[in-house]
Amino acid sequence: MKGMAATYEGPRAGRVDFRGRARALARATRKFGALGSSGDSVEARPWAVRVKPDSDKELLEELRKALTWMKALEGGQVDRTPKQASIAGSDIKEPRRIPRKRHGSATLRRRAVAVLALSLLIAVSAGWVLFQKGAVQKNPFDTSRPRWKDESATHFTFAAAGDFGGPGNNDSLGLVGRARTAGMSFFLALGDLGYTTSASGWCTQMKRLVPEIVIIAGDDGSNADGNMSQYVASCPYPLSSPMVAGKGTPGYGYEYYFDYPREKPLARFILLSAGLSGVDYNYSRKSPHTEWVEDKVASARDAGIPWVIAGVHKECITVGNDGHCPMGQDLFDELVEAHVDLILVGHDHVYERSKQLRVSSSCESVNSTNQFEPSCVAASGTQGVYAKGEGTIVVVQGVGGRSFDNVAIDGSNQAMGYFDAVMGANANTQGRLSGFGSVFYEVTADSIGAKTDFCPPDSTGTDGRCTSNPGAVFADQFAISTGTGLEPMSDTRASGILPDAPPASSASSFPQDPNQNGLDQPGIPLSRDEEPPLRVWTAR
């Protein structure tokens, strides 16, 4: 056994000889296994094994070396094995594992909700830009975009004008296109619809822009340039509200009424053919036609309809060129006595807004003597504000594109005392450019607001927009309200109204020289790109 002993020379630098150590371990194991064989002297003793001195030291030395090599072998294997866990009693620590990011179902749901919310926000923003009240489309003649209406269960809008140009008249098409852009619910055409034999051509062009064209007869029924029955056939009644014909009349286009909107109406419109040479209706006092008008006004009040609006082609008071009360004095007095809120007329190719008029014991007839009677004025609207129920306001709006008439605002016409704002070919009460256009109305249960939309002649571009400086064009606005007061809203925009523009008032506060008014006036030097905010009046 002595010859089989191996000599331990200490640890070697460099690579560990695992193979040699394994052989030494095997030899030691064989020696240990031979312990206690018949060839060895072993002395038995309870709980002990005694080895003879000549073999004890040698065997223990071999065993010690084997254990040392086993530890060295185990140490080398541990060094090659990645540390997956901390070893007890050592300072070796397990490497920190970076957790993987997992997209759980909750995270995916949150992302889906966020994407949906963003999509809805973009859609709503786009709709607000395109269809928000007051938003301006770039091209009023562009009919490819959806037709939208500025109306709801609590309000609606409409535009009105009379005395249009014929087919192809860019000024007439422009004003209807701008009404479409503004979202008017319908367009009320107050007679003299085109001065043309081509009624179908006129209606086709107008309805392409605003399909809801509502018409009333002017001189179209009698002159050589047109026939009212052709206009009725080409521009049929377009609204869902029922149309009710006057007694003994064809109804639509001649004498009729409708309530708007159909459900819970806010206004009754009564359209009449008075003073026309081609339509001979008798509107004298106590006549069937006049009594029909009186009855329809009263039934609207009984039904709780807040507003009554009358539409007639010919006027009764004016400072234009068309004489004294071609509508008929009896009909006009009946409308004022019945407290009709608005009378919308054309015929004179001018714009005029009256004071609030009333019939009383001191004023039995308005303008019957062709003289101004102050007692016939219920309230002046120099600030553009009227109280509902105090009287009737007349709006002459015959500037639909045909031509302009002159006006007398210098005091030579006594009827000027009845008006707050006037615009004609030669002069106006603001010293700005005169323009063709319509009046935009907004109707709620508590108020009627109105503003003009005028553009100088030949200033409508090929896309329908007015190319003139809006601040240089005549502009008027007013409101009738049931409230105790009115205050302006500053967040609505439209062309043609200056934020600090003086209110339209009587001519006494403005230059009277015709050369300093109307089309000869150079206008207010504002930037063409500047669009001042519109003051819209609302009830407090």
- Tens digit of each residue's pLDDT (9 = 90 or more) over 412-434: 999 999 999 999 999 999 999 99
Is the CB of residue 262 less than 8 Å from the CB of residue 256?
A: no
Percent of the chain with pLDDT over 70: 67
Q: What is the mean pLDDT of residues 67-87?
A: 58
pLDDT, position 385: 92
pLDDT, position 47: 44
Residues 144/533/156/229 CA torsion (nearest 10 deg): -60
Distance CA 311, CA 186 (A): 14
Is the CB of residue 183 less than 8 Å from the CB of residue 210?
A: no
Single-letter amino acid code for the residue at 230: Q
Residue the block writes with tokens 């008075």: 274
Of 145-154, 156-165, 338-347, 395-404, least confident by mean pLDDT is 145-154
Sequence-distant (6+) residues with CB within 8 A of 377 are 355, 356, 357, 358, 391, 417, 418
Nearest residue to 320 via CA among 238, 236, 408:
408
Q: What is the mean pLDDT of residues 370-376?
A: 91
pLDDT tens for each residue of 510-532: 333 333 333 333 333 333 333 33
Question: Is pLDDT at 125 greater than 50 in this prediction?
Answer: yes
pLDDT, position 61: 79
Q: What is the mean pLDDT of residues 157-186?
A: 93
Question: 145-539: which CATH number, 3.40.140.10, 3.60.21.10, 3.40.50.11810, 3.40.50.2300?
Answer: 3.60.21.10
Query: What is the 3-class SS of 203-216, one letter each residue?
Result: HHHHHHHCCCEEEE
Supply the pTM of this predicted model.
0.68
With vertex at residue 260, the alpha carbon angle to CA 443 and CA 494, rounded to the nearest 5 degrees, is 35
